[in-house]
Amino acid sequence: MSKPVSVLLDKDQLKRALTRIAHEILEHNRGAADVVIVGIQSRGYFLAKRLSENIAGIESAKTPVGALDISLYRDDISTNPQPVLKKTEIDFDLTGKNIVLVDDVLYTGRTIRAAMDALMDLGRPASIQLAVLVDRGHRQLPIRPDYIGKNIPTAIKQRVSVELAEEAGTDQVTLVEADGT
């Protein structure tokens, strides 16, 4: 049986981290003009929507939010069973925009590589920035995040579990030990 060992972020800490990231996005881009937020399905999309709301609360600017499914761009598609497809819903033009790509956990970087390829097929953005709730290390590709909720050094055997109110009913990030350890 797996068991949670420690809570990494509770509801309030998660909320504060997202508020800080919203400020950082505005600071880095000198406002919200030409900024669009794209979340990777499913939890990255929930976080993207929250970041957009936070930005609206700070600068009363509306940043468009899109959902990106990266299954079709995965590099393990011929070695694993096909992933269940979710929808990509980006109903605005990406060309010339500063995209903030959002995911819950940054690990090997392969998902982000796939996401960048997917975004490039949809338009020619001015830039792509990366926001993650948790960076757990162990990168296998030269990818680094621009905005980080929390840095958490982990062992490969461990698992970072992100629960968000939108699907789990509660906000919480925990570190789970692998089975049998």
Partner 1 sequence: MRLMELKQKHLLGIEHLSADEIEYILQTAESLEEISKRDIKKVPTLRGKTIVTLFLEPSTRTKTSFELAAKRLSADTLSISKDASSFKKGESLKDAAKTLQAYRVDAIILRHSASGAAEFLSKQTDASVINAGDGCHEHPTQALLDAYTIKKKFGKINGLKIAIVGDILHSRVARSNIFCLTKMGAELSVVAPPTLLPVDVEKLPVKVAFGIEEVLEESDVIYLLRLQAERASENHFPSIREYRRLFGLDADKVKKLKPEAIVMHPGPINRGVEISSTVADLARSYIEEQVTSGLAVRMAVLYLLVGGSS
Interface contacts to partner 1, rule CB under 8 A:
69, 71-73, 77-89, 117-118, 121-123
Residue number with CB closer to partner 1 (41 or 129):
41
Tell how far CA 118 is from the center of its chain. 15
Give the angle subtended at the CA of 32 by the CAs of 165 and 55, to the nearest 5°.
30
Least Å distance, CB 127 to partner 1, is 20
Nearer to partner 1, 9 or 90 (CB): 90
Peptide bond into 2 cis (omega under 30): no
CA dist 73 and 6 (Å) reads 33
Distance in Å, CB of 12 to partner 1, minimum: 33
CB of 68 to partner 1, least distance (A): 11
Closer to partner 1 by Cβ: residue 81 or 153: 81
Residue 158 CB, nearest distance to partner 1 (Å)? Answer: 25
> Closest approach of Cβ 80 to partner 1, in Å?
6
Nearer to partner 1 (CB atom), residue 17 or residue 65: 65
For residues 39 and 46, the answer to whether their CB atoms sit within 8 Å is: yes
Residue 2 or 82 having the CB closest to partner 1: 82
Of 82 and 140, CB closest to partner 1: 82
Q: How far is the CB of 66 from partner 1 (least distance, A)?
A: 11
